[in-house]
Structure 1
Amino acid sequence: MIAAGEVVERPSSVVKELVENSLDAGATAVIVEISEGGTKLIKVSDNGCGMSKDDLEICTLPHTTSKLFSAEDLSCISTFGFRGEALASINAVSKLKIITCSNGSAYEYTNGQISESSKNQGTTVEIKDLFYNTPARLKFLKSFKTEERYVEDTVTHLILANPDVSFTLIAEGKTVLTSNGKGPQSALYAVFKNNGSKFLELNYQKGDFKLSGYISAPQFTRPSRSGQVIIINGRVVSDAKITVAVEKAYGNMLMKHSFPLYAISAIMPFDFVDVNVHPQKSEVRFENPDKVFSLFYSAVAETLKEKAAAFSLDSLSESFKHNENFNSNTIKTPNSESFTNPSLFIVDSSAQNKTYKPLNSINSKTTNTEHDGLEKMELLEHISASSFESRINSAFSESNKSDKFIFDTPVDTSNDDFSALKTNNAKNNILKADSFDASKESAEDIKILCALFDTYLIIRQGEKYYIGDQHAIHERILYDSLLQSIKDEKVQSQPMLFGYKETLSAVEVDKINSLIPQLEKLGFTIVITKNEIEVLAMPSIMTNLKIKQFLHDIITSFATELSVSDFLFEKICQTACKAAIKAGYGFNEMQLDAMAEYLNKNGLPKQCPHGRPAVIEITKSGLEKLFKRIV
């Protein structure tokens, strides 16, 4: 067995060891009390089965455990503790007192002495003056507040990993954290408070493997991985491969440098996982790591596909409500330009009914004098939310009909699906990416009603209304077109004026040679002569690619089609982003019609390839919250 010299690293590691002992004892309620970050006092009380007098006498001896009975038990560990080192290590660097009651008999351990005591069922372990006799270790602890935060993080993880156990954390006499032990959802809200509503429930099972827990909606992220909890057979662990699997499942739903939050618990056969590989048991080793990767990837991907929703004003208004440092400049006041500039609103005074007028039905010759006689309320009812009047005529002028077509991309479109969309004489088989909502919730056609500020689009689908970012929507369409062209092997190959040559080792040449079929699908033309490699052509969408660095990367890091495609992902995103329409440049009528037709066939995109929202649903309740009609 491993001698766990790191088991007592700081107060939080002591709390972890003691609480895990409580859980092994079958406790359903655990109370943790600390003072001065845990250096002065750590007290853990539970209602578990307690210890007998005989066990209490030897519990602080090294390598003493009641959880293993034979060497074979190490291959199928089902308890948190098994080495018998925690209490011995803690006793060596602190002043330890234990009071325990089992089957009505209570005893107290102090300074190696056993005496009778009075206590209800369970055990209380009290640690005072941690590291009092090891000043070097005490010197390198952080401030009391920082150590307290580490303890809070530890208890947070324990709450999420053990949702049926109630926990209470008390620091300096004040309750910092509490959970009621009534299941996973209550544990989620105990940890994330009101943000618990921003998580999606995950349930996935395959054979003897069961995954459950919660993952954050793509809109709810953090700039670090601090909110990620992986639980294997009830034990909180860290595993880089699982972390990668989860983030890959989110794919381009996330913006750059944004990370999802999650608490995923995996139940698997005990002999499939080895927890005896790290002194603090924070890392594990799997019998088949690739299978675990696949399980986590599939579980998260399926949950997102089924439950991830588009952005909406409800969530937006909730974020305003809970943001105490809300910047008033983000919403214009009634005295600001957004409300006073009359050019922002165009009135159709000739309308007899109170119906909304789409962009192409507005009379550009309307003047302010035409509505002078209208009452104030009648005027407001006739206001049409459209773009500036001066831009409306140009948006549909004949000169704009020669603009670049909305679906033009740097790929071979002579026989592709976008040509079919242009001419309306062939079936559209465009790849439906996960970020498109193809569920077709409503049978009503998607209609683009108008443009706002030549940047946003007002979209209606049945009884639902959306505001869309025209750049993000267009970028998503172009991105999926590029992916489809790669899938259909229709990428334009750009011959190089001067080929790139490099001499490689035999091993490197073999690796490149094995990847040539995949690289040719992506538009590369590569010739190998003995140990010399020559690149004669490259994808037209990647003309700025640094070939030497690219070859070096695929030789040293990549060996599969998936990883080569992953490497090109960012380049494809950049290409789509640069080709998409920019803010301030409006679509013409033909382009808007083509976009509406595409959206009707493929659904509204939730996000652009970089993870930014493409459309936000305009809900009645969301608007009422923003206008403070309801609070």
Structure 2
Amino acid sequence: MSAHRPAAIRPLADVLVNQIAAGEVVERPASVLKEVLENALDAGARAIDVQLEQGGVRRIRVADDGCGIARDDLALALERHATSKIATLEDLEQVGTMGFRGEALAAIAAVARLTLTSRAEGSAHAWRIDGTDRSLAPAALNQGTVVDVADLFYSTPARRKFLKSEATEYAHCDEVFRRIALARPDIGLQLAHNGRVVHRLPAGDPLRRVAALMGDDFLQHARNLDADAGPLRLAGVAALPAYSRTSRDAQYLFVNGRFVRDKLLTHAVRQAYADILHGSRHPAYVLFLELDPAGVDVNVHPAKIEVRFREARAVHQFVFHALTRSLAASGAGIGVTGDNANAAAVAAEADPGGSTAPARAANPLRYANAAGHDAAPVQGRLAMEAASRSYYDFAASARPAESPSSPADASGFRPTAFAPSAGRGAATAAEAPMPPIEAASAPLGYAIAQLHGIYILAQNAAGLVLVDMHAAHERILYEKLKTVLDGQPAVQRLLIPAVLSISAKDMAAAEECAEVLARMGFEVAPVGPAELAVRSVPALLASAPIGELLRKLLEELREFPASEVVTARRNELLATMACHGAVRAHRSLTIPEMNALLRDMEATERADQCNHGRPTWTQLTMGELDRFFMRGQ
């Protein structure tokens, strides 16, 4: 067999070059729409109209009122690597425009029937150029540009076979439109599909644009974020875990106005949510990162959806800490700020002139976006709250101890344990007088009753507050355990050691991880082949069911015995301790105990969610109650 003789090297035809380029830039109709919309933004458009037919496969028409293209530049606009946006390497390294490669229109014209009509500023009339034969002709058009793309992939039938159904292709186009619309609320946009208008978005307030595209429910469960550190700034809206999703369909992250999918930023966001969101759920957010264009390389991918940061670690830490601070601030302890009022005004537009507007402004969790302020202890405690410290009283009868009372630990607070309430009967409002309700001093108000031993009912300035007492106490315990265990935890020695019957695997885990348990406040020692004596416990969990708690900890330690792994999973272990140490359902509490819990919620970070991401409280405003009972109708 004769050896294969290679063909002579020769340059490719321009048409083939453009079709190859189209394979990188034009993947589907949504790719075309993205490139054309970005060109419209770079042209300074203030209004953009998009019309699609058959999911964009049959037709994509984008009209803008931007600066337009001069007659002599129309032919160049369809050439590869021809652009008005960059001229030097320095321009490329600090690119501030959305598009800059100068090959999108050429690639699109190679695989579709493209017509470009434009009228530049000062021109007597518009000109139209045919993307196939490059013929020019006068046209009627106001200032701006119209890009009309028909029959996508007509010249490459093999690629057209890879397109999905009309509904799927339209969904991708709609997603591209949403990204552009979220990035530029200052521009009016309209999208129509098969003659039906789907989105009509006037230019205006960013929160109004977010509400229009993400829904009022997202905005009501989200917080505003605005943080900066030197050249870095992070702004936007991040949803609380109550609005978490089963997929990543509500995650929008922009870098200098450009939508990106960046692993570094996604990891930072995920880490910020790690302490309040269940692992199988996904957060929802619309975030904008701004930095010096020289600090980010957007020339990484032909579709410009990936970026590379020059100071990657600094960017990661900034995003992580900024978002963590915003999410850590409990809505239970935040009053209405300017940002809150702005979000409340957006929500109130759905109910103009209604009686609920003041209530919405007074409710920081459901209607307002609490800005990223740090939660602070509530000031100006009323005299009645002194009695509510029974919430911290250590019950000697609950656990035999060396001393009749529990000393405050190194952090200055007493072990969090509910005093036994057997024999007291149901708590009533007569136990303590109802003080004046001021939202600034007590956002969660004051307890009035307990429902089925599960929920606390409280009255605040906005209306009725419902609190899941186990979930709320779990979060309070968890945050305090994290703080205490950063130092030397206070422990409670038991007068009579608790002896547990455990399996051989648990015994092995207890012996191997004795030092880890000791750092957490547990002193344990084997007293038999299958018996473990517990001599001391963390003071915060002194009234917890020790047997149940320790068995659960040992079960987890069996899976991760290495000390470095245990250290990395410290928060998960503390969450387990908090869950088993929190007050259980069907426990009768007194009014002072319930009020003490409310005050601690107001002073605790992340108090809006338990350790599993479930909400700990909600608000029913007077307006909502009035509507339910049809008052004033």
Q: Is residue 98–residue 126 contact of structure 1 (8 Å, CA) maintained in 2?
A: yes
Q: CA deviation at 1:15?
A: 0.1
Matched, 1:207 2:193: no
Q: Is residue 422–residue 594 contact of structure 1 (8 Å, CA) maintained in 2?
A: no
Match of 2:488, as an amino acid? E
1:208-248 deviation per Cα after TM superposition (whole angstroms, max 9, x unaligned): 22332222344333222211111111111112222232343
Q: What is the rounded CA distance, in whole Å, between the counterparts of 1:482 and 1:519 in structure 2?
A: 14
Partner residue in 1 for 2:317: 294
Matched, 1:267 2:290: yes
Match of 1:266, as an amino acid? L
Q: Is residue 201–residue 215 contact of structure 1 (8 Å, CA) maintained in 2?
A: yes
Which sections of structure 1, spanning at least 5 residues, go unmatched?
323-399, 406-410, 425-438, 503-515, 526-537, 555-563
Against the structure 1 CA distance between its residues 21 and 485, is the aligned structure 2 distance closer, same or farther, given a 3 Å change threshold? same
Match of 1:587, as an amino acid? S
1:326-384 deviation per Cα after TM superposition (whole angstroms, max 9, x unaligned): xxxxxxxxxxxxxxxxxxxxxxxxxxxxxxxxxxxxxxxxxxxxxxxxxxxxxxxxxxx
1:138-160 deviation per Cα after TM superposition (whole angstroms, max 9, x unaligned): 11211101111111110000001
Partner residue in 2 for 1:569: 571
Partner residue in 1 for 2:483: 484
Matched, 1:229 2:252: yes
Q: 1:35 aligns with which of 50, 53, 63?
A: 53
Q: CA deviation at 1:452?
A: 1.6
Match of 1:279, as an amino acid? P
Match of 1:7, as an amino acid? V
Question: What TM-score does the superposition give when structure 1 sets the normalisation length?
Answer: 0.68
Against the structure 1 CA distance between its residues 4 and 272, is the aligned structure 2 distance closer, same or farther, given a 3 Å change threshold? farther
Q: What is the rounded CA distance, in whole Å, between the counterparts of 2:33 and 2:608 in structure 1?
A: 43
Partner residue in 2 for 1:167: 189
Partner residue in 2 for 1:187: 209
Q: What is the rounded CA distance, in whole Å, between the counterparts of 2:57 and 2:147 in structure 1?
A: 15
Partner residue in 2 for 1:629: 631
What SS is found at the alignment partner of 1:260?
Answer: coil
Q: 2:178 aligns with which of 134, 156, 175?
A: 156
Matched, 1:454 2:474: no
What SS is found at the alignment partner of 1:259?
Answer: coil
Q: What is the rounded CA distance, in whole Å, between the counterparts of 1:462 and 1:128 in structure 2?
A: 59
Q: Is residue 184–residue 213 contact of structure 1 (8 Å, CA) maintained in 2?
A: no
Q: What is the rounded CA distance, in whole Å, between the counterparts of 1:122 and 1:487 in structure 2?
A: 62
Q: Is residue 224–residue 259 contact of structure 1 (8 Å, CA) maintained in 2?
A: yes
1:575-615 deviation per Cα after TM superposition (whole angstroms, max 9, x unaligned): 322343443x32365xx755644544563743322222222
Considering only aligned residues, what root-mean-square deviation do their CA atoms show, in Å?
4.3
Q: What is the rounded CA distance, in whole Å, between the counterparts of 1:217 and 1:42 in structure 2?
A: 37
Matched, 1:118 2:140: yes
Q: Is residue 274–residue 285 contact of structure 1 (8 Å, CA) maintained in 2?
A: yes
Against the structure 1 CA distance between its residues 6 and 468, is the aligned structure 2 distance closer, same or farther, given a 3 Å change threshold? same
1:190-210 deviation per Cα after TM superposition (whole angstroms, max 9, x unaligned): 312433642433322222223
Against the structure 1 CA distance between its residues 36 and 485, is the aligned structure 2 distance closer, same or farther, given a 3 Å change threshold? same
Q: Is residue 249–residue 301 contact of structure 1 (8 Å, CA) maintained in 2?
A: yes
Q: CA deviation at 1:487?
A: 1.7
Q: What is the rounded CA distance, in whole Å, between the counterparts of 1:307 and 1:423 in structure 2?
A: 23
Matched, 1:243 2:242: no
Q: Is residue 407–residue 414 contact of structure 2 (8 Å, CA) maintained in 1?
A: no
Which sections of structure 2, spanning at least 5 residues, go unmatched?
1-19, 335-342, 351-394, 401-405, 420-437, 494-499, 524-536, 539-549
Q: CA deviation at 1:286?
A: 0.6
Partner residue in 1 for 2:588: 587
Partner residue in 2 for 1:47: 65
Q: What is the rounded CA distance, in whole Å, between the counterparts of 1:578 and 1:501 in structure 2?
A: 22
Alignment of 1:406-425 (within 5 A): 419=414
Q: Is residue 159–residue 167 contact of structure 1 (8 Å, CA) maintained in 2?
A: yes
1:150-177 deviation per Cα after TM superposition (whole angstroms, max 9, x unaligned): 1111000000111111111110001111
Q: CA deviation at 1:94?
A: 0.6
Match of 2:189, as an amino acid? F
Match of 1:241, as an amino acid? L
Matched, 1:12 2:36: no
Q: 1:132 aligns with which of 124, 129, 154?
A: 154
Q: CA deviation at 1:630?
A: 6.6
Match of 2:212, as an amino acid? A
Q: Is residue 410–residue 489 contact of structure 2 (8 Å, CA) maintained in 1?
A: no
Match of 1:212, as an amino acid? A
What SS is found at the alignment partner of 1:51?
Answer: coil
Aligned residues: 493
Q: What is the rounded CA distance, in whole Å, between the counterparts of 1:628 and 1:135 in structure 2?
A: 62
Against the structure 1 CA distance between its residues 401 and 488, is the aligned structure 2 distance closer, same or farther, given a 3 Å change threshold? closer
Q: Is residue 209–residue 267 contact of structure 1 (8 Å, CA) maintained in 2?
A: yes
Q: What is the rounded CA distance, in whole Å, between the counterparts of 1:73 and 1:463 in structure 2?
A: 54
Partner residue in 2 for 1:474: 473
Q: Percent identity over the alignment? A: 33
What SS is found at the alignment partner of 2:41?
Answer: helix
Q: Is residue 229–residue 262 contact of structure 1 (8 Å, CA) maintained in 2?
A: yes
Q: What is the rounded CA distance, in whole Å, between the counterparts of 1:524 and 1:9 in structure 2?
A: 59
Q: Is residue 410–residue 490 contact of structure 2 (8 Å, CA) maintained in 1?
A: no
Partner residue in 1 for 2:80: 62
